[in-house]
Structure 1
Amino acid sequence: MPDGQEHAFTDYSNHPLRDLPIDLTVCIGHARPRLRDVLNLTEGSILPLDRQIDDVVDLFVGEKLIARGQLIEVNEGAELAVQITQIFAGGSMF
C-alpha cells in the first residue's frame, strides 16, 4: 500500500489493551410503538421489529458501527451467535 494509507487489518497481538473486556452490542432491529402500546405490553406480547429474520445485524462498540453479520444457531440451537459478514475499516479502534 502507498505510504499514508491504513491497512485493512492490523496486528493487535501485542496491544497493551488487548485483554480488556468491552461491551459489544448486536442490534437486531428497532421498534417504534406508540406509548399506549408499550403500556399494554404483557408477558407473551409480540413487538414487531423493522427487520426480517434473515436480515443482517449490526455490531456496535459504544456508538461506533464496527461490523455486520448474520444470526446463526450454535450448540444444536441452544444459543445464538453472529457470523461476521462485513468488517468496517477506516481507522484504528484505539
Structure 2
Amino acid sequence: MGSEDGLRRILDIPLEVKVEMGRTKLLVNEIIQFGQGTVIELHKLAGEPLDMYVEGRLVARGELVVINENFGFRITEIITPEARIKSLGL
C-alpha cells in the first residue's frame, strides 16, 4: 500500500470545524435570566480576527464575510505547526 492509498483512506473522515467569535464567563444566575434580546458581551474587540478550530485545536484565524445571505469565514492566517505545539505547552 502506497502513501496515496493511505491518504485516500482519510479524506472522507468527518472533522468538527468551529469558528469562534469570542468567549465570556457568566454566573448561573445571569444565564437563567436570559430572555429574547439579551446581549452578551464577549472578550474580543470588534474587528479582531475570529479563531477557527478543527477538532478543538486552533488552526487558523480569519474574518466573517457574507456570501449571498449566508455567513462565511475567510481565512487570513494559518497557525504554524510550531505555534500549535507551543500553545499545547510542549
TM range (shorter): 0.7 to 0.9
Consecutive aligned runs of 4 or more in structure 1 exceeding 2 Å deviation:
none
Structure 2: give runs of 5+ residues left out of the alignment. 83-90
- Structure 1 length normalisation: TM-score? 0.70
User: Pairwise mapping of residues 7-86 of structure 1 onto structure 2 (< 5 A)?
Assistant: 15-16=7-8, 17-75=10-68, 78-86=69-77
Would you say how many aligned residue pairs link Structure 1 and Structure 2? 77
Structure 1: give runs of 5+ residues left out of the alignment. 1-11
- Structure 2 length normalisation: TM-score? 0.73
Please give the per-residue CA displacement for 1:43-90, whole angstroms capped at 9, x wherever unaligned.
221111112332111111122111111111111xx1111110111232
2:34 aligned counterpart, secondary structure: coil
Percentage identity across paired residues of the two chains = 22
In angstroms, what is the RMSD of aligned CA positions?
2.0
Q: Distance in 2 between matches of 1:29 and 1:23?
A: 18
